[in-house]
């Protein structure tokens, strides 16, 4: 398998981004954390407040640059030392500054009551001694007391999402819109183009599979048979076919439309598989041409994060592949693991 490395990437170290996820119990904190986790954040829920700055520092030392901390009213110390903790999370004089954002999830009392009724779980404040002394034993009492305690934190939040009328899917979309690639706050989606041979099976991780076996096969041309699709003579032959040019134009138009949509959904990578019979000629030439055609678009919208892999281009010579399609490929110094 041969692979061409992605286009230029930034060599600058990524700044550490910390998102503190908080809000009313039942408003969707777990859903928001799961969405951030899908975006590549290292998520820690209900971490004791005193440990938060140290936990972020340890993650930073380990090369983790995107961290989400789930904190709610059960972590009582966070409410009293909110300013100090957020300041420490942002970094001190001896460390590089970090980006710290507070995401607050809110909802109406009625919707919270309904959600607690559906899950049949007690409110977190039902076992709180201060809440019990204040008479907050019912769910509604707990919601109102929690709202009062969290009011200063809500006022300080960078992002407030009201989940009253949002489904879990709509909440996930809201989090992706705010912290995902489309917001500029996350790495852009990596697009991977893989050429392959259908006789060896389609890549199991392919998101999109395109079949180019309708193109004239260079295998049946004596002077091209033994050459790979990366050879200029094979590439010129394949790309010189009118139907190949029309296929490329239509495919580029399709991908230019769908790639931003996949990215908007929070996908961190997308695999496009291009297949022909043996994965040696047509699919290789088309994959290279498709990468070249998409390159300027990728650089402008996804920072050039694109790789091209030719999975089967070195799987034996032409005669061996025809005589025994299931035979394992011979060792090759050009093949990468």
Domain boundary among 183, 198, 219: 183
Report the alpha-carbon distance of residue 297 to residue 292 in Å, rounded. 10
Q: What is the DSSP letter of 85?
A: H
Q: Give, for 270, the enclosing helix (H) or strand (E).
A: strand 269-276
Residue 239 token pair: 């790309």
Is 336 within a domain?
no
**Is residue 104 very low, low, confident or very high in pLDDT (cuts 50, 70, 90)?**
very high
For residue 304, the enclosing domain spans 190-323
Phi-psi region of 23 (alpha: psi -120 to 50; beta: other; left: phi over 0): left
Residues above pLDDT 70, as percent of the chain? 74
Residues 19 and 135 in one domain: yes
54-63, 69-78, 198-207, 208-217: which is most confident: 208-217
Q: Quote the number of domains for the chain.
A: 2
Average pLDDT, the chain: 79
Looking at the domain assignment, is residue 273 inside a domain? yes
Q: Last residue of a domain, which of 152, 183, 214?
A: 183
Is 119 a member of any domain? yes
| Residues 177 and 196 reside in one and the same domain | no
Give helix 232-239 / helix 242-264 axis angle, nearest 10°: 90
pLDDT digit string (tens) for 263-272? 777 677 789 9
Instruction: Say what the pLDDT of residue 16 is.
Output: 87
Whether the CB-CB separation of 103 and 22 falls below 8 Å is answered with: yes
Using pLDDT thresholds of 50, 70 and 90, give the confidence band for residue 306: confident
Residues 318, 243 share a domain: yes
DSSP letters along 55-72, please? HHHHHHHTT--EEEEE--
Can you give the CATH number for the domain in which 90 is found? 3.40.50.300
Using CA atoms, how far apart are residues 255 and 150, in angstroms rounded to an integer? 45
Range of weakest confidence among 32-36, 97-101, 242-246: 97-101
**What pLDDT is recorded for position 92?**
62
pLDDT at 277 over 60: yes
Instruction: Express each pLDDT in 105-120 by its tens digit.
Output: 999 988 888 888 776 6
* Residue 332 binned pLDDT confidence (cut-offs 50, 70, 90): very low
Where among 183, 215, 247 does a domain terminate?
Answer: 183
Same domain, 176 and 196: no
Average pLDDT over residues 188-194: 84
Is 26 within a domain? yes
Whether residue 125 has pLDDT greater than 60:
yes
Greater confidence (228 vs 330) lies with 228
Task: Give pLDDT, residue 233.
Answer: 95
Res. 103 pLDDT band, cuts 50 70 90: very high
332: in domain: no
In-domain check, residue 156:
yes
pLDDT above 70 (res 96): no
Q: How far apart are CA 184 and CA 174, in angstroms?
A: 15
Average pLDDT (148-171) is 88
Distance CA 1, CA 5 (A): 13
The C-alpha torsion from 263 through 268 and 274 to 278, rounded to 10°, is -170
Residue 70 has pLDDT above 50, yes or no: yes
Confidence of residue 130 (pLDDT cuts 50, 70, 90): low
Average pLDDT over residues 124-140: 56
- Stretch 255-261: mean pLDDT: 88
In terms of domains, do 233 and 283 share one?
yes
* Judgement on whether residues 30 and 144 belong to the same structural domain of the protein: yes
Q: Write out the H or E segment, with its range, that includes residue 209.
A: strand 208-211
Q: Do 29 and 162 lie in a common domain?
A: yes
- Same-domain check for residues 27 and 168: yes
Kindly state the tokens that stand for 262: 């996949």
DSSP letter for 297, please.
H
Same domain, 207 and 60: no
Question: Do 85 and 143 belong to one domain?
Answer: yes
Phi first, then psi: give them for residue 27, nearest 5 degrees: -85, -5
Distance between start and end Cα atoms, the chain: 7
The answer to whether position 334 is within a domain reads no
User: 17-23 and 99-106: which strand pairing?
Assistant: parallel
Question: d(Cα 53, Cα 81) in Å, to the nearest integer?
Answer: 12
Residues 109, 194: one domain? no
Min mean pLDDT across 67-71, 107-111, 214-218, 329-333 is at 329-333
pLDDT confidence bin for 137, thresholds 50/70/90: low
Mapped onto helix, strand or coil, the DSSP state of residue 289 is: helix
31 in a structural domain? yes
Question: In terms of domains, do 222 and 313 share one?
Answer: yes
- The 10s digit of each residue's pLDDT in 2-57 is 445 444 444 344 578 899 999 888 889 999 999 999 888 999 988 777 788 888 98
């Amino acid at each position: 398998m041969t692979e061409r490395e992605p286009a230029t990437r930034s060599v600058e170290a990524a700044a550490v981004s910390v998102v503190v996820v908080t809000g009313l119990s039942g408003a969707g904190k777990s859903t928001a954390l799961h969405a951030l986790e899908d975006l590549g954040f290292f998520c820690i829920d209900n971490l004791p407040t005193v440990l938060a700055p140290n936990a972020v520092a340890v993650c930073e030392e380990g090369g983790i640059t995107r961290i989400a901390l789930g904190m709610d009213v059960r972590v009582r110390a966070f409410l009293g030392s909110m300013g100090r903790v957020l300041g420490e999370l942002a970094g001190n004089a001896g460390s590089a500054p970090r980006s710290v954002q507070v995401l607050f999830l809110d909802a109406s009392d009625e919707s919270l009551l309904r959600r607690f009724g559906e899950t049949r779980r007690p409110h977190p404040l039902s076992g709180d001694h201060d809440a019990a002394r204040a008479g907050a034993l019912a769910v509604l009492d707990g919601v109102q007391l929690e709202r009062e305690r969290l009011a200063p934190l809500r006022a300080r939040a960078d992002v407030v999402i009201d989940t009253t009328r949002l489904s879990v899917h709509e909440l996930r979309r809201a989090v992706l819109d705010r912290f995902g690639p489309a917001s500029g706050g996350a790495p852009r989606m990596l697009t991977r183009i893989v050429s392959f041979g259908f006789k060896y099976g389609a890549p199991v991780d392919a998101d999109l599979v395109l079949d180019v076996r309708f193109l004239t096969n260079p295998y049946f041309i004596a002077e091209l048979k033994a050459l790979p699709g990366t050879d200029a003579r094979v590439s010129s032959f394949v790309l010189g076919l009118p139907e190949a040019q029309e296929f490329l134009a239509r495919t580029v138009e399709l991908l230019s439309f769908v790639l931003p949509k996949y990215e908007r959904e929070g996908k961190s990578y997308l695999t496009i598989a291009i297949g022909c019979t043996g994965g040696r000629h047509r699919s290789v030439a088309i994959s290279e041409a498709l990468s070249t055609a998409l390159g300027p678009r990728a650089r402008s919208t996804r920072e050039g994060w694109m790789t091209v892999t030719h999975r089967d281009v070195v799987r034996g010579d032409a005669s061996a592949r025809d005589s025994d399609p299931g035979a394992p490929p011979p060792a090759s110094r050009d093949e990468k693991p």
